Structure formats: C-alpha cells, structure tokens
C-alpha cells in the first residue's frame, strides 16, 4: 500500500482557528457576522471536498470492478487451458543455466 502525507493518521483532523474557537481579539457583537461568514465558507469547502471524494470513490470502485472482471476472465481462461492440456502443467519447468567462461 502506498503511504503518503494523506494517509497519515490525524493529518486531516488538525484543528484550525475556526474549529478551536480561538481569536486574536476579544469577541464583540459585530463579530457574529464574521463568524457566520467564516463558518459558511468552511461549510462550502467541506461540501465541495465531500463531492470530490464521492466522485473519486466512484472512479476507484469502477476501476476495481473492471480489474475483478478481467481477473475472473483470465482465471477462467487459465482453467480451460489446464483442462485442454493437463500434461503440460504437470511437468516441472526445467531451466538450464547459461554459463560463460570469464578470464581475469
């Protein structure tokens, strides 16, 4: 399995300033609009990321289905070949070593 930065546990769960509810300045009445704006932008970003992940998941599943279909076809083909030529597969493979003299 390939491992990269995206497969590290907890990397996507890093808390941001928005999620940790920390501010550089004290909270005032007018900051509610700013909070609403920031939260709506975060919501939009997460919805877009969810859509992209769903799309990617469908592509991956389609590719896996194609691979499984091809593997099944090849296994069936191999089984049919084994039935047609059983003696060919019972013989051990004999490979002769190729040698060549070396002079130092």
pLDDT, one tens digit per residue, over 43-64 is 999 999 999 999 999 999 999 9
Residue 4 has pLDDT above 70, yes or no: no
Instruction: Determine which of 13-22, 36-45, 63-72 has the lowest per-residue pLDDT on average.
Output: 13-22
* Count of Cβ atoms closer than 10 Å to residue 35 Cβ: 13
At 59-79, the pLDDT tens digits run 999 999 999 999 999 999 988
Of 18 and 99, the structure prediction assigns the larger pLDDT to: 99
Average pLDDT of every residue of the chain: 80
More confident residue, 91 or 102: 102
Binned at pLDDT 50, 70 and 90, residue 1 comes out as very low
pLDDT higher than 50, residue 24: yes
CA atoms within 13 A on the CB side of 59: 6
For residues 70 and 50, the answer to whether their CB atoms sit within 8 Å is no
* pLDDT at position 100: 82
Kindly report the CA angle at 94 between 91 and 97, in degrees rounded to 5? 175
């Amino acid at each position: 399995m390939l491992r990269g930065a995206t497969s590290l546990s907890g990397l996507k769960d890093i808390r941001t300033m928005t999620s940790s509810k920390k501010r550089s300045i004290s909270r005032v009445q007018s900051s509610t609009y700013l909070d609403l704006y920031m939260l709506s932008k975060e919501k939009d970003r997460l919805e877009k990321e969810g859509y992209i992940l769903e799309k990617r998941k469908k592509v991956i599943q389609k590719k896996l289905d194609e691979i499984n279909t091809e593997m099944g076809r090849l296994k069936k083909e191999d089984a049919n070949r084994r039935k047609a030529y059983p003696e060919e597969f019972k013989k051990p493979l004999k490979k002769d070593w190729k040698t060549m003299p070396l002079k130092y």
